[in-house]
Amino acid sequence: MTTLVTGSRGKVGAALIQLLHDRGAPVRAASAAPEKLELPAGVEAVKLDLKDPATFPAALTGVTSVFLYAEPSHIDAFLQQAEAAGVQHLVLLSSSSVLAPGAADNAIAASHLAVEQALAASPLTSTVLQPGAFAGNALQWAWALKSGGPISLPYPGSYGDPIHERDIAEAALAVLDDPALRGTAYQLTGPESLTFTEQIAVLEDATGRPFPVAEVTPEAWKAAMADYMPAHFADALLDYWAATDGTPAPLTHHAEALTGHPARTFTEWAKENAEAFRA
């Protein structure tokens, strides 16, 4: 009963691999660059590039379940190969952005939605996890601090629902373990709705250092990001932040129901990762 974990270099994938390994469950770590993986002893690494169907057959051989990253470019071919290999269950790491109006036209949501739709049309059993903002998204602010500049925020009052990546991994483990939990979608949130300003205050408390902030116009922020992300992706982020400016994020209890414990707070994440902001 081997589980193939895609996106093994990411925080969620890496945490899930460790959880499966700790309980003695067979797990195969997949990555487009498997030589860069740092894995627990005895975990098999395999090359799998979701943009290259030629890598699908070998990665899926002998696999019964898959933790899948949302890459739509060859999803139909991947699902066909998974079915041929005897895969019984797929768990998709999607995004709560698919629940918003106009998701199909949103650069952030569209790729996740396309994979969700492909899974829905497949005969394979699938379970969808739809987390909101990862707590680890805050690490982007460490880069600004290390460069000596302030954190530029076009919408400092925009609310998010930061969820600890380990909670997502534990939720994935639960649905991989229990057939009764499969075949549905779970919107996962952290336990609190926090503005960017409130998240920064939490980080200041955890690190013992100030986080200078500059409120900038959306146009200025987009221009500053031009070398780091496509314009349509920047526009999607700005639209989302504008829509949630001053509007608390709705919270769910799915993470707690799946993991069996209260969702970890952003304060817990900040304390665990404080050193990343202290350099």
What are 88-146's pLDDT values in tens digits? 999 999 999 999 999 999 988 999 999 999 999 999 999 999 999 999 999 999 989 98
Taking each helix axis from N to C end, the angle separating 109-121 and 75-85, rounded to the nearest 10 degrees, works out to 40
Question: Which two three-digit tokens encode residue 78?
Answer: 């991947």
> Does residue 147 surpass a pLDDT of 90?
no
- What residue ranges do the domains of the chain occupy? 2-131, 133-163+189-250+261-279
**Other CB atoms closer than 10 Å to residue 133's CB: what's the count?**
23
Taking residues 202-208, report their average pLDDT.
Answer: 97
Name which of 129, 46, 144, 137 is nearest 90 in CA terms.
Answer: 129
- Rounded Cα distance between 211 and 90, Å, is 41
- Rounded Cα distance between 94 and 188, Å, is 10
- Rounded Cα distance between 237 and 160, Å, is 12
Point out which residues pair with 214 in neighbouring strands: 152
Taking residues 46-70, report their average pLDDT.
Answer: 98
User: What tens digit of pLDDT does each residue of 77-86 get?
Assistant: 999 999 999 9
Give yes or no on whether 2-131 and 133-163+189-250+261-279 have one common fold: yes
What confidence score (pLDDT) does residue 138 get? 97
What whole-number percentage of the chain has pLDDT above 90? 96
Taking residues 204-213, report their average pLDDT.
Answer: 96
> Does residue 262 surpass a pLDDT of 80?
yes
Question: Which two three-digit tokens encode residue 150?
Answer: 């302030």
271 Cβ partners below 8 Å, 6+ apart? 206
What confidence score (pLDDT) does residue 278 get? 86
- Among 3.40.50.300, 3.40.50.720, 3.30.70.60, 3.40.50.970, name the CATH number for the domain at 133-163+189-250+261-279: 3.40.50.720
pTM here? Answer: 0.96
User: What tens digit of pLDDT does each residue of 239-261 get?
Assistant: 999 999 999 999 999 999 999 99
CATH fold group of domain 2-131: Rossmann fold (3.40.50)
8 Cβ partners below 8 Å, 6+ apart? 14, 17, 29, 30, 31, 34, 37, 39, 45
- Rounded Cα distance between 163 and 172, Å, is 14
Q: 1: burial class by Cβ within 10 Å (0-12, 13-18, 19+)?
A: exposed
Q: How far is CA 210 from its chain centroid? A: 28
